[in-house]
Amino acid sequence: MKAYIISIGDEILIGQTVNTNAAWIGEQLSMIGFDINCTATVHDQREDILDVLKIAESKSDVIIITGGLGPTSDDITKQTLCDFFGTHLIIDKEVLAMIEVMMKKRGIPMNENNRKQAEVPADCKVLKNIRGTAPGMLFEKEGKVFISMPGIPYEMQYIMTEHVIPDLINRFKLQNVIRRNIMTYGLPEARLAEKLTGFEESLPGEVRLAYLPNHGIIKLRLTVTGEDKEQLQQKTDEQVKKLYDIIPDLIYGENEEPLELAVAMLLRKTKQTLCTSESCTGGMIAHMLTTVPGSSDYYKGSVIAYDNSIKKDLLNVPQKLLEKHGAVSEEVVKSMAEGARKLMHTDLCLATSGIAGPDGGTSDKPTGTLWIAVASEKNTIAEKHLFGYDRVTNIRRFSNAALSLLWHKIKK
């Protein structure tokens, strides 16, 4: 079964609003067995909407539409749907009553615009929306299903979860789909693909592999489709086991697990405490670590040693090291890690020093240079990395590289 996702709104087209709705809807539909054959974003213009509806109808079994259901003059989706299906708007008394109750609870007097929210095409099935004033609408035409929902994400997600997904599962015979995400760090995409060439060539026809890179992390997504769910699960498990045999040192987790959670699990298991000493990452690692619930069990704090005076006065980095090697060096980052560990009395310390950019690079230390160190009671290890020129991207990639080194250190 094929699905077509249509997003309506000038704000999406001109970049003022990021289209998270289409991504979320695509994920939900693919999880129940739909093939998403296209997504489209169109103007708040009648002719544009009608054109894309005709295209979607010719290519797909289910057409999902979001946006343009508000109470203002630029919200034209309902009337355009009436034109497409050859019907007219009527007041749905049940929807109107829900809106009146909602407005009363909020202490907002009803006006004509609120009343217009209760207008729906006469031939649609109304999908109740307890999260807002605009209902969802379901149409059927020559075996095709059209569903229109508000563009507000939490309202759309409620209607999808409570009404749309159950209806589609009951309506269509859908294929079973099993997805397994294997999270890796340590090789760029091209080299990882080279390492997995034999694995890919041996995959059964019903198993697909995708590489999804993000700030140095590469998610390997295995998708298996077919009739027998038990057999599909067995085949998925077999392929995952092969990946663990081929790249055991690169896999740190599964199913969207971030590096900071993988580190947290190891710290809890080994009962070790951690602090951080950050220069170029400016507290990003501390932020990532503390997003994990219960991180106070093992994480003690951070020194943002951005200026050399903080490295020297607070972390006891010798002035001679800074003068001889510079702040971005193996010697200094090791000293930062050791100094912070002693200062905060932890088992481990993770330290970073680098050049995030876009300026500040030299011929021997170009923009994107990163030094990471992990200090423990036994020893201090360090790694050098070289990334790109974009500052924001570098800070995130620096942080992931640092957490990966820490993860390997604890694991070993």
257-292 pLDDT, tens digit per residue, is 999 999 999 999 999 999 999 999 999 999 999 999
51-89, pLDDT tens digit by residue? 999 999 999 999 999 998 887 777 899 999 999 999 999
Does the pLDDT value for residue 144 go beyond 80? yes
The domain in which residue 183 lies consists of 176-254
pLDDT at 164: 98
Is residue 166 predicted with pLDDT exceeding 90? yes
| pLDDT-above-70 percentage for the chain | 100
Q: Are residues 189 and 160 in the same domain?
A: no
Instruction: Please check whether residues 112 and 135 belong to one and the same domain.
Output: yes
Look at residue 383 in the predicted model and tell me its pLDDT: 97
Domain count, the chain: 3
Number of neighbours of residue 258 by Cβ within 10 angstroms: 17
Q: Are residues 250 and 215 in the same domain?
A: yes
Residue 356 pLDDT grade (very low, low, confident, very high; cuts 50, 70, 90): very high
Spatial contact of 13 and 70, defined as CB atoms under 8 Å apart: no
> How confident is the model at residue 124, as a pLDDT?
96
Beta carbons within 8 Å of 240's beta carbon, 6+ residues apart? 180, 182, 222
Query: Does the predicted TM-score (pTM) go above 0.85?
Result: no
Count CB atoms within 10 A of the CB of residue 281.
31
Q: 150 with 295, same domain?
A: no
Output the six-digit token pair for 316: 């006891």
Quick one: 19 and 160 in the same domain?
A: yes
User: Which CATH number belongs to the domain containing residue 235 in this structure?
Assistant: 3.30.70.2860
Predicted confidence at residue 374, as pLDDT, reads 98
Contact between 181 and 254 under an 8 Å Cβ cutoff? The reply is yes
Q: Are 264 and 249 contained in the same domain?
A: no
Asked whether residue 159 falls in the same domain as residue 74, the answer is yes
CA distance 52 to 86: 17
- Residue 27: band (very low, low, confident or very high) from pLDDT cuts 50, 70, 90: very high
First to last CA, the chain: 47
Please provide the size of the chain in residues: 412
Of the candidates 149, 171, 193, which is a domain's last residue? 171
pLDDT of residue 105: 86
| pLDDT tens-place string over residues 396-406 | 999 999 999 99
CATH for 307:
3.90.950.20
Pair 360, 369: CB distance under 8 Å: no
What's the mean per-residue pLDDT of the chain? 95
- Residue 75's SS3 state is coil
Q: Are residues 25 and 157 part of one domain?
A: yes
Amino acid letter, residue 223: T
- Cβ partners under 8 Å of residue 392, min gap 6: none
CA proximity to 244, closest of 198, 201, 182: 182
Rg (CA), the chain: 27
Neighbours of 377 (CB within 10 A): 8
Partners of 349 in beta bridges: 275, 375
The backbone torsions φ and ψ at residue 316, rounded to the nearest 5 degrees and listed phi first, read 60, 35
Q: State whether 167 and 182 are in the same domain.
A: no
Pair (129, 191) in one structural domain? no
* Domain shared by 324 and 267, yes or no: yes
pLDDT tens profile 98-129: 999 988 888 988 888 888 889 999 999 999 99
What does the CA dihedral 201, 203, 204, 207 come to, rounded to 10 degrees? -130
Instruction: Clarify whether residues 166 and 42 are in a common domain.
Output: yes
Enter the DSSP assignment of 151: S
